[in-house]
Structure 1
Amino acid sequence: MPIPEPTLTGTVRFRDWQTWYRITGDLESAKTPLVVLHGGPGAAHNYTLRIAGLAGQGRAVVHYDQLGIGNSTHLPGKGADFWTVQLFLDELDNLLAALGLSGGYHVLGQSWGGMLAAEHSVRRPAGLKSLVIANSPASMELWLSEAARLRALLPPEVQKTLGEHEAAGTTEHPDYKAAEAVFNARHVCRIVPNPPEVAATFAAIDADPTVYHTMNGPNEFHVIGTLKDWTIIDRVDRIAVPTLLVSGRHDEATEATVRPYADRIPDVRWEIFEDSSHMPHVEEEEAYLRLVGAFLDEND
């Protein structure tokens, strides 16, 4: 389906920088707005744009680029001590206040965005109505363990190429990138070639990998950045709003990585998309929008 055109785009000031946002639909609608948190960290909003289709159900959808990527301020000179979870929590709070949403909103976080959304939710913000955690691990220990398992299922020559270049520190080599693409076609987005909005996000990372490389690492399965020890398992029981978990049957965020959310959040349901990997909002778009739209309607 065509991606809806935005109703409004703009920026809000965050400390000395700018956070870019995109609104689809009418913020004055009777339905509570949805704020979408993209992945990465540092992956840009583009690949999540099909979620703007929820505006066709009469709900405003807010996308934004987190600091350091896309249309927001880039800060390539900042080091690991700057790029923290707290920074992005503060940026989200600032955006909600600037757009007048703090009193009532839903949050949908995809991949790293779901991790950030969970961090936001355990703090029990007063205006949060419900939470969608999409394709997100509850800890990076689980993510790394499952990534190793999925890598072991790749063709032997692909595994060999990955291991050799990681050991040599040559993860920008074309052969490594080609091997990485084999993993991505299985577990990140099974629509190949990728749709334009997905390709745009990968291009944004290539153009400025500061945040992604610092917090994550060179790719989805070789995580050596500052998030490698992150976990929220011991805190997810503090989430006090209805929560929808979404994942794909072929997802790099495997069932094992999502399970702690399902086991520990008090009011939770879990939907697995059988024909999807890490991006069911792209791979099974219509079913995804129906599911998420109905969940949000229930919790307005």
Structure 2
Amino acid sequence: MLSAMLVETQMVPFLDGETWVRISRPDAPRPDALPLFVLHGGPGMAHDYVRNIAELADETGRDVVHYDQIGCGRSTHLPDAPRDFWTPALFVDEFHAVRSALGVERYHVLGQSWGGMLGAEIAVRQPDGLVSLSICNSPASMELWMAAAALLRSELPEDTQRALDRHEAAGTVTDPEYLAATQEFYRRHVCRLTPTPQDFLDSEAQMEAEPTVYHTMNGPNEFHVLGTLKSWSVEDRLDQITAPTLVVAGEFDEATPATWKPFVDRIPDAREHVFAGASHCTHLEQPAEFRAVIASFLTEHDR
């Protein structure tokens, strides 16, 4: 449960729409603690499932900023936007629109899943004021992501694999049997908690109600990638990241070590932390441990 910190919301103009922003302010601000921007995943999953990271406000004495990226959640939805509208550069521009509207000049960025990919896209541009980058449960390319997903998929029960193959070949990816088979993958590698946390269910429900961004950029699910991100990679640009970088993942994460090792190997000032027993939603499965690791990293780089 979130503490009794002060929470403010506002709408920030972006292109022809608006981006919904949530700012969690600490009860006891620390003068040298810089704001943290939290970038949610999906793309198109909205901020709800990473909302508990706002606890870092009181735990570290800093403002924590969440926002729903354009096209999802409480921000303007654009179901009729053309396919080529949905690019990483769009979301980089949106981030800076939010940051500028809040008057923030020096800041930390934390991105989870797609949010970590977006964080890397922000960092390779070397923006003034980026003090640190936390990449959480994210791949350095979709080629690596798909290869890892195929390997994990091959470890599913044979009848589950057959159901996935059959429905993908037939194009019946909304069939209840296919959806049930995908849940077996999710249970192992996305969120291992039972029952599934309500915050995750809320993000999932809004994405299913308005799937434009997720289906256009990713595809029907985590391992059947057909969207505009299919050829995305930041691998050959990682040496351009100058901000200190922390890379975290779970032991059973769908973002396997093969997907995130390029961040550690190619970013000049990068370190890694793997959470034993956790999967893709490490921040939900081990919230206190996750925040402790992040808090230590942020505090180290505030100055």
**Is the pair's TM-score, using the shorter chain for normalization, greater than 0.5?**
yes
Cross-structure match for 1:24: 24
Q: TM-score under structure 1 normalisation? A: 0.97
Distance (Å, rounded) in 1 between the aligned partners of 2:152 and 2:20: 35
Structure 2 SS opposite 1:20: strand
1:291 has 2:290 as partner = no
Cross-structure match for 1:268: 270
Cross-structure match for 1:186: 188
- Structure 1 position 59, deviation (Å): 1.3
Query: Contact (CA 8 Å) 1:6, 1:22: kept in 2 or not?
Result: no
Distance (Å, rounded) in 2 between the aligned partners of 1:277 and 1:289: 15
Distance (Å, rounded) in 1 between the aligned partners of 2:15 and 2:135: 28
- The alignment yields a C-alpha RMSD, in angstroms, of 1.3
**1:70-105 Cα distance to aligned partner (Å, 9 max, x none):** 00000111121111111111101100100011x101
Cross-structure match for 2:80: 77
Cross-structure match for 1:152: 154
Distance (Å, rounded) in 1 between the aligned partners of 2:70 and 2:5: 23
Query: Contact (CA 8 Å) 1:3, 1:50: kept in 2 or not?
Result: no
Q: How does 1:192-211 map to 2 (within 5 A)?
A: 192-211=194-213
Distance (Å, rounded) in 2 between the aligned partners of 1:218 and 1:149: 18
Distance (Å, rounded) in 1 between the aligned partners of 2:218 and 2:130: 27
Distance (Å, rounded) in 2 between the aligned partners of 1:167 and 1:78: 28
Cross-structure match for 1:213: 215
Query: Contact (CA 8 Å) 1:79, 1:214: kept in 2 or not?
Result: no
Cα distance 1:187–1:6, how it changes in 2: closer, same or farther (>3 A)? farther
Select 2:69's aligned residue among 60, 66, 69: 66
- Structure 1 position 205, deviation (Å): 1.0
Q: How does 1:40-119 map to 2 (within 5 A)?
A: 40-57=42-59, 58-101=61-104, 103-119=105-121
Query: Contact (CA 8 Å) 1:3, 1:49: kept in 2 or not?
Result: no
Query: Contact (CA 8 Å) 2:6, 2:26: kept in 1 or not?
Result: no
Cα distance 1:233–1:4, how it changes in 2: closer, same or farther (>3 A)? farther
Distance (Å, rounded) in 2 between the aligned partners of 1:66 and 1:6: 22
| Structure 1 portions without partners, runs of 5+ | none
Query: Contact (CA 8 Å) 1:4, 1:53: kept in 2 or not?
Result: no
- Structure 1 position 6, deviation (Å): 5.2
Cross-structure match for 2:142: 140
Quote the sequence identity (%). Answer: 54
Distance (Å, rounded) in 2 between the aligned partners of 1:84 and 1:234: 18
2:25 maps to amino acid? G
Q: TM-score under structure 2 normalisation? A: 0.96
1:8 has 2:8 as partner = yes
1:69 maps to amino acid? C
| Structure 2 portions without partners, runs of 5+ | none
Structure 2 SS opposite 1:69: coil
Q: How many pairs align?
A: 299
- Structure 1 position 193, deviation (Å): 2.0
Query: Contact (CA 8 Å) 2:26, 2:58: kept in 1 or not?
Result: no
Cross-structure match for 1:127: 129
Distance (Å, rounded) in 2 between the aligned partners of 1:94 and 1:268: 27
Query: Contact (CA 8 Å) 2:41, 2:113: kept in 1 or not?
Result: yes
**1:138-176 Cα distance to aligned partner (Å, 9 max, x none):** 000000001000000000010011111111111111111
Q: Structure 1: which 4+ aligned runs deviate by more than 2 Å?
A: 1-6, 26-29
Select 1:259's aligned residue among 246, 258, 261: 261
- Structure 1 position 2, deviation (Å): 3.7
